[in-house]
Chains A and B, each alone.
Chain A
């Protein structure tokens, strides 16, 4: 609690937290569109590609003012993303190859420039490499204002063009038939993603930036089936990651903010992937298991039903019919008994009234199957009834 209050009193912490939260907000919103357009890795490309931009901006101007460096980063990142889209449009290079080529060549160029600068004996150069992994502690009030301005413009545009962005993300062909400039709108969305990357460079750096575009959006998609709620949630998760990451890093000396922000976002994402209602993997897995068990029990009941009607239902006869062992068949009969479908009478077993009713229902259902599924199952099902 004391720590939480420190956000309002501690100047450094406040700036760091605000910067991280802004990054989460803008990254969450634009990341939603990027993931839905299957372009989340494009965010990774343009984040990495912004490193040479930072270096070039420094080399050309000789100043280390964040705004100048960010503009350089944005310009080169933007160029890389346009190049990327052009390559996809005009060549037969598969998307992952194009991503790999652009990402590594731009990032390699950036590292090269960085090394060159570091050996150039320019006393002013120290700290440029901080953009690789980010260094949130260097964020000052002025930086936050710059970020807020950039992010504000980006969010305003998303608000204005929400319906158009939604349509080109879902069905670009139809959008084109309505006369929307699909390519232009797509380029605009990508450019706004560049703005999100610019906001994140100081906090999380070029290498980890993509996570702030992907993780909150992927988490949000798990909880809702509506785009508007997904965007709000994604923004919320982004802000939460930013604030929590900043706070946690403030609890100890030498805990880096950027990686903690990214880790928080990843944890939220992991939790959502596993446990979100409906889409959560755990529930999915559970449903599959329950379904398999039900089908197995139903097949078992049908076998028991046949034996009950035409022979005697005992562990031995069931084992023979199902080609298993009597011990296993006994366990299976007990499972059926737990469902209330069979009851034990001395040395043999009988179907209960509920068991009969259920077996009858299943047989009826199976009779319809061959008609609807056709020859696929037609032959096999006849024997069971």
Chain B
């Protein structure tokens, strides 16, 4: 098994602790472990992909890290702090298929939900929040669709609404669960543009990704996952035939 130690990916100049540091994380539903002894360090200000076959535990990794599924063991730190301390600085983009899009609400309303964490209990969003949500919608090219019932948006537009909601949170670290799954070319372009804009502002983006063909073009950092971490590090070091074979098994090619 190829397993480069994660600590040497740190830039030695950086004094800030890594945006995400996972140690010995194990997650088990019922009998089988979904994630086994995962160690992971995500470097700051980079676009990071988590790639692996179906059932490799990619989404579970995001959910376990964000405290949505219980961990059997392990520690997770964000910028050197526990989740509770930094929750508002973390943006999460769930899988599009995880919600009922026939819910009676419009695009702007969904984006406003990104500000609920900041608003705190009981307070309702006001005009300032609506303006902020509109700016996030503009960023993903959906300003004209603000009042549109969400069921009447295309799949790609729905994905962009979710993205805008996370953007409105104005976080330092973003987790996106399969944002490129089944979207149109316009949306793919919009997501990429937003990702690069975030990177330009020094934000860190962690993306669960499916498509090996685009990994090289989209990301700086790659984690190959199949229950365990097979390899994690800068793209040019980790995106190798040998690692892919270890992740996907024999029948996988580089797809070029």
Question: A residues bordering B, Cβ < 8 Å?
Answer: 36, 38, 160-164, 166-167, 169-171, 173-174, 176-180, 221, 224-227, 229-230
Q: A179-B84, A226-B104, A226-B105 are in contact. Are A174 and B92 (CB under 8 A)?
A: yes
Secondary structure call for the B interface: mixed
Q: Check B116 against A178 for contact (C-beta < 8 Å).
A: yes
Chain B residues lying within 8 Å of A229, measured Cβ to Cβ, are 104
Q: A179-B87, A179-B117 are in contact. Are A227 and B105 (CB under 8 A)?
A: yes
B241 at the interface (CB under 8 A from A): no
User: CB < 8 Å: which of B84, B104, B113, B121 contacts A221?
Assistant: B104
Chain B residues lying within 8 Å of A162, measured Cβ to Cβ, are 124
Q: Check A36 against B103 for contact (C-beta < 8 Å).
A: yes
Chain B residues lying within 8 Å of A166, measured Cβ to Cβ, are 105
Q: Check B104 against A167 for contact (C-beta < 8 Å).
A: no
B119 at the interface (CB under 8 A from A): yes
Q: Check B68 against A176 for contact (C-beta < 8 Å).
A: yes
Q: Can you give 8 contacting A-B residue pairs, CB < 8 Å?
A: A166-B105, A170-B99, A171-B98, A173-B92, A177-B68, A178-B116, A225-B151, A226-B105
Q: Give bound CA distance, A263 to B98, whole Å.
A: 36
Q: Check A225 against B106 for contact (C-beta < 8 Å).
A: yes
Chain A residues lying within 8 Å of B92, measured Cβ to Cβ, are 173-174, 177
Q: Give bound CA distance, A167 to B117, whole Å.
A: 11
Chain B residues lying within 8 Å of A164, measured Cβ to Cβ, are 116, 121
Q: Check A163 against B124 for contact (C-beta < 8 Å).
A: yes
Scan residues 214-254 of chain B and give those whose CB is less than 8 A from a CB of chain A.
none
Q: Check B94 against A174 for contact (C-beta < 8 Å).
A: yes
Q: B57 → chain A, closest Cβ, in Å?
A: 16
Q: Check A163 against B117 for contact (C-beta < 8 Å).
A: no
Q: Give bound CA distance, A163 to B118, whole Å.
A: 13
Chain A residues lying within 8 Å of B123, measured Cβ to Cβ, are 163
Interface residues on B, range: 20 to 34
Q: Check B66 against A176 for contact (C-beta < 8 Å).
A: yes
Chain B residues lying within 8 Å of A171, measured Cβ to Cβ, are 94, 98-99, 113
B200 at the interface (CB under 8 A from A): no
Q: Give bound CA distance, A179 to B117, whole Å.
A: 8
Q: Check B104 against A176 for contact (C-beta < 8 Å).
A: no
Q: Give bound CA distance, A167 to B99, whole Å.
A: 11
Chain B 97-123, CB-CB to A under 8 Å as 1, else 0, gives 011100111100110010011010111
Q: A216 → chain B, closest Cβ, in Å?
A: 14
Q: B209 → chain A, closest Cβ, in Å?
A: 19
Chain A residues lying within 8 Å of B4, measured Cβ to Cβ, are none
Q: A177-B92, A179-B87 are in contact. Are A169 and B68 (CB under 8 A)?
A: no
B125 at the interface (CB under 8 A from A): yes
Chain A residues lying within 8 Å of B87, measured Cβ to Cβ, are 177-179
User: CB < 8 Å: which of A160, A167, A179 contacts B122?
Assistant: A160
Q: A163-B124, A164-B121, A179-B117 are in contact. Are A169 and B106 (CB under 8 A)?
A: no
Name the residue of chain A whose CB is nearest to the CB of B165.
A174
Q: A36-B103, A161-B122 are in contact. Are A225 and B98 (CB under 8 A)?
A: no
Query: Which 6 A/B pairs are nearest by Cβ-Cβ distance?
Result: A177-B92, A225-B149, A178-B117, A179-B87, A173-B94, A176-B68
Scan residues 51-81 of chain B and give those whose CB is less than 8 A from a CB of chain A.
63, 66-68
Q: A162-B124, A163-B124 are in contact. Are A169 and B67 (CB under 8 A)?
A: no
Q: B238 → chain A, closest Cβ, in Å?
A: 27
Name the residue of chain A whose CB is nearest to the CB of B59.
A173
B90 at the interface (CB under 8 A from A): yes
User: CB < 8 Å: which of B63, B105, B121, B122 contacts A225?
Assistant: B105
Chain A residues lying within 8 Å of B68, measured Cβ to Cβ, are 173, 176-177
Q: Give bound CA distance, A171 to B117, whole Å.
A: 14
**Other 5 A-B pairs with CB < 8 A, given A162-B124, A166-B105:** A163-B123, A167-B113, A170-B103, A171-B99, A174-B165
Q: Give bound CA distance, A169 to B125, whole Å.
A: 18
Q: B70 → chain A, closest Cβ, in Å?
A: 12
Name the residue of chain B whose CB is nearest to the CB of A182.
B68
Chain A residues lying within 8 Å of B149, measured Cβ to Cβ, are 225
Q: A374 → chain B, closest Cβ, in Å?
A: 14
Q: Check B104 against A173 for contact (C-beta < 8 Å).
A: no
Which of A176, A221, A229: most chain B CB closer than 10 A?
A176
Q: B175 → chain A, closest Cβ, in Å?
A: 8
Q: A163-B116, A177-B66 are in contact. Are A170 and B105 (CB under 8 A)?
A: yes
Q: Check A227 against B90 for contact (C-beta < 8 Å).
A: no
Q: Give bound CA distance, A176 to B123, whole Å.
A: 18
Q: Give bound CA distance, A230 to B67, whole Å.
A: 33
Chain A residues lying within 8 Å of B121, measured Cβ to Cβ, are 161, 164
Q: Give bound CA distance, A226 to B68, whole Å.
A: 28
Q: Give bound CA distance, A349 to B248, whole Å.
A: 65
Q: Give bound CA distance, A227 to B87, whole Å.
A: 27
Name the residue of chain A whose CB is nearest to the CB of B122.
A160
Q: Check A226 against B106 for contact (C-beta < 8 Å).
A: yes
Q: Check B119 against A163 for contact (C-beta < 8 Å).
A: yes
Q: A163-B119, A177-B66 are in contact. Are A169 and B124 (CB under 8 A)?
A: no
Q: A4 → chain B, closest Cβ, in Å?
A: 33
